[in-house]
Structure 1
Amino acid sequence: MAIHCGESLIMKLLLQITLVLTTSIAVAQTAFYNSGNVQVHNNANIGLHTDFINNANFDQTTGTLGFYGNRAIIVSGSIPPSLWDAEIFMDANVFLQTPIMVRNNVNFVDGDVLTPTNLQSVYLSFMNEGLYTGEGDFSKITGFAAINDRNVFIFPVGDPQRLRPLTLNSQGNTPLVICGYFFENPSNPSSVLNTFDTFTKVNDIGTVSDREFWIVQSDVPAQVTISWDDRSNLAAIPNATFESIIVVGWNKSANQWVIIGNSGMSGDINQGFVTSQTFVPSDYAAITFGTIPLPTDTFAVNNPTLGNYFLSPNADGINDVLVIDGLEESPNNVVRIFNRYGQKVFEQVNYTNQFQGIANTGTLVLGQEKGLPEGVYFYTATLFDLELEYTGFLFLDQ
């Protein structure tokens, strides 16, 4: 092997290398073997094109250790190296068999950092001020990433094809958080030893995604933000809507999927993101997307909304009264209508097409002979028989 000292952060000319050897460094044919104490001083780089075996302290560096070349590099040894800066610029990948700690920055140029997917104790860890740049679909962490002594972080994790980050927002400083992403069926994953049957779930969950999942481990309560895209294929879940998407987790003690819940979300059924409620990540072996249960009532399935309506009570026999389609399916109902200021202007229990643009409740009832002003109104229809509630709009043309 050779120690190359000719790359800068993007493979430019190396300014300086200073190696301080307090014991010994053995250079074998196939690996850079550290059995002593190596220091990389300020503005200096070590560029590796070969495997790195670290069996001694490597924690006083203030320069850059770069991984370069067109062959895979394996990092192993009995002592995890602690780097100031690291750079990945490879046609292949860096495989970790021991953790790497980064105190300042990882520059992802090209090539992934891979860790054993069934061994959460091996990861690339960003220390309390560690950052990264250049992450993307072809430059990220495939396997497990970690953070130490911090509370907010976006993990640059993914599978071999895509970056699928997870954002963590902890309620307090976290000594250690571990995170990984898997584009695999939780019921039968190929990368991890455990299985998380998507059909083993509480009744409040309709469907659990069988496309992907994340693993997050931390003992401090936190919120997480995860996203879905075209590969997530949430639109393929029968009758799924954007509003039905929820965060679910495989609870370790219950040994089933339970609802973690949402605190915010954005997007549509094809692409978007959701932020969870606060939970303790280590209570869950995996998290992914779920949906709320589909209604078992045929009326609800066939009528996701009751629609919007146009009303013109001019006695011409067309749209003279508000006829809400399908309401006869639930004669035990109540219909309420509000104006644009939120004032209730009409209420009818067991509604059977009584509204003709005239108020029967609120302050406007005093002038009901004139009818309600022309404009847009908001209605609610509560169907007690079916345990359903609908909302919609109507335009009143007087």
Structure 2
Amino acid sequence: MKTIYGIFLLWFLNLPAQEGTRNLGMLKIHDQGAIGFHGNLTNDGIFDDNQGLAGFYSLQSISLTGLFPPRFMDLEFFTEEGLQLEVSLEAENNINFIQGDVKTPRTDAFVSLRFYDGSFHTGTTNISKVDGYVSVKNKPEFIFPVGDDQQLRALILQSESINTAANCAYFYSDPANLTSIGTNTRENMLMRISPTEFWRLEGTVPSTIQISWNQRSRMPAMANSVDEITVVGWSKTNNRWENLGTGAVGNLTEGVAFTTTFIPDDYEAITFGTLNAPEDIPDLDNYLLTPNGDGINDFLNIDELALSNDNWVRIYDRNGMLVFEMHNYTDEFTGYANKGDVVINRNNGLPQGVYFYLVSLDDLGLEYQGYLYLAR
């Protein structure tokens, strides 16, 4: 026989549209026991040592409030208008989504549906998910069943070690609406940032993620091909969008994008971006330098460096000696050395002849080499 065991005090409150249950003492669901909540639940007592099943069932919207988060072994939800959390709700085993969303305030990541250790979820769909924050404790990987009031937009997390805590929520909104972002500054390798949706992911463990796009992502307005699609994150340190992606599969209507390893807490928001098309990647030539003061080829000019905020130019003589080096080069090389032994005779300038250059655009992941001819 299913039983509920413990020392408890239940008050029944007259609330709008439905009655509610309030726990002020100690309430426990015994092994093989079960309890169903058909109205609001207020937990101001001890309700965290439970076995069996707890369910929330209602044709109307109901809420969970109180001073302390209740913790259950198994949970299920059949709430047609949803369950609103004003305090966290915790589970140690299975959470079964049947119908209706679990809703949390997006302004408070501390209030969430929490999964512990071996807990997992089943049954998530567009009409049954978490509309707000989900958190995990002591888990190395997890599928966050997050979305908004219309769609499930899950995020898959795979971490290098156990997460003592990680939170995630989905926002159907332009990430530029976040006051902490405010600009569209981005790495030069990135062309566009999604104005449609983003995820917030919190955690301290190096991790990779997978996120998917669908019709609401409006990918055809951003990309011409799947090869351009990537995952981007707003760096809290560098105050810019940075590429986190390693590739994507699918088509412009739906698909999945993957990331390299990163620390979630380093990024304020995560969304889709697009990479520069292959035709936009610079192709450097060989150069002629004639520093004679006539205004033509008096300095080494590499227009493509304007695409990079983190570049190096290094020039070597035919013996392989470094004679010039400059970080974030503009037009500094006019035939004079600033490196190597020949710098002693810099006032005389470098001798006429063939020199080799090495150009690296570190923020774009590009490197070039070629030669230049210095004529006197």
| TM norm structure 2 | 0.71
SS of equivalent residue, structure 2 residue 270: strand
Cα distance change of structure 1 residues 298 and 272 upon mapping to structure 2, 3 Å threshold: closer
- The equivalent residue for 2:105 is 116
Q: 1:253 aligns with which of 224, 231, 237?
A: 237
CA distance in 1, matches of 2:183, 2:252: 20
Matched, 1:236 2:225: no
- The equivalent residue for 2:148 is 159
Output the amino acid matched with 2:262. Answer: F
CA distance in 1, matches of 2:94, 2:274: 38
How many aligned positions are there?
280
Output the amino acid matched with 1:173. Answer: I
Q: Is the 8 A contact 2:190 2:275 kept in 1?
A: yes
Q: 2:251 aligns with which of 268, 271, 277?
A: 268
SS of equivalent residue, structure 1 residue 187: helix
Shift of 1:200: 2.2
TM-superposition CA deviations, 1:322-378 (whole Å, max 9, x none): xxxxxxxxxxxxxxxxxxxxxxxxxxxxxxxxxxxxxxxxxxxxxxxxxxxxxxxxx
CA distance in 1, matches of 2:29, 2:69: 16
Shift of 1:146: 0.7
Output the amino acid matched with 1:202. Answer: E
Matched, 1:293 2:276: yes
TM-superposition CA deviations, 1:189-216 (whole Å, max 9, x none): xxxx645346222222110011110111
CA distance in 2, matches of 1:272, 1:218: 25
Q: Is the 8 A contact 1:84 1:102 kept in 2?
A: yes
Shift of 1:219: 0.2
Deviates more, 1:286-295 or 1:174-183: 286-295
CA distance in 1, matches of 2:42, 2:48: 14
- The equivalent residue for 1:210 is 195
TM-superposition CA deviations, 1:92-145 (whole Å, max 9, x none): 100001111100111100000000011111100110011111110000001000
Q: Which runs of 5+ in 1 are unaligned?
A: 1-14, 301-387, 389-398
SS of equivalent residue, structure 1 residue 243: helix
CA distance in 1, matches of 2:175, 2:116: 30
Instruction: Indicate the percent of aligned positions where both proteins have the same amino acid.
Output: 35
- 1:76-225 map, 5 Å: 76-188=65-177, 194=179, 196-197=181-182, 199-225=184-210
- The equivalent residue for 1:20 is 6
Q: Is the 8 A contact 2:70 2:89 kept in 1?
A: yes
Shift of 1:265: 2.6
CA distance in 1, matches of 2:276, 2:245: 14
RMSD over aligned CA atoms reads 2.1
Output the amino acid matched with 2:275. Answer: I
Cα distance change of structure 1 residues 244 and 28 upon mapping to structure 2, 3 Å threshold: same
CA distance in 2, matches of 1:41, 1:147: 25
Shift of 1:230: 1.1
Q: Which structure is higher in strand share?
A: 2
CA distance in 2, matches of 1:297, 1:86: 52
- 1:22-37 map, 5 Å: 23-30=8-15, 31-37=20-26
Q: Is the 8 A contact 1:151 1:170 kept in 2?
A: yes
Shift of 1:50: 1.1
Shift of 1:288: 0.5
- The equivalent residue for 2:297 is none
Output the amino acid matched with 2:148. Answer: D
Q: Is the 8 A contact 2:199 2:271 kept in 1?
A: yes
SS of equivalent residue, structure 2 residue 175: coil
Q: Is the 8 A contact 2:226 2:248 kept in 1?
A: no
TM-superposition CA deviations, 1:210-236 (whole Å, max 9, x none): 111011100000000001111111111
| TM norm structure 1 | 0.67
CA distance in 2, matches of 1:142, 1:26: 29
Output the amino acid matched with 1:279. Answer: F
SS of equivalent residue, structure 2 residue 97: strand
- 1:39-50 map, 5 Å: 39-50=28-39
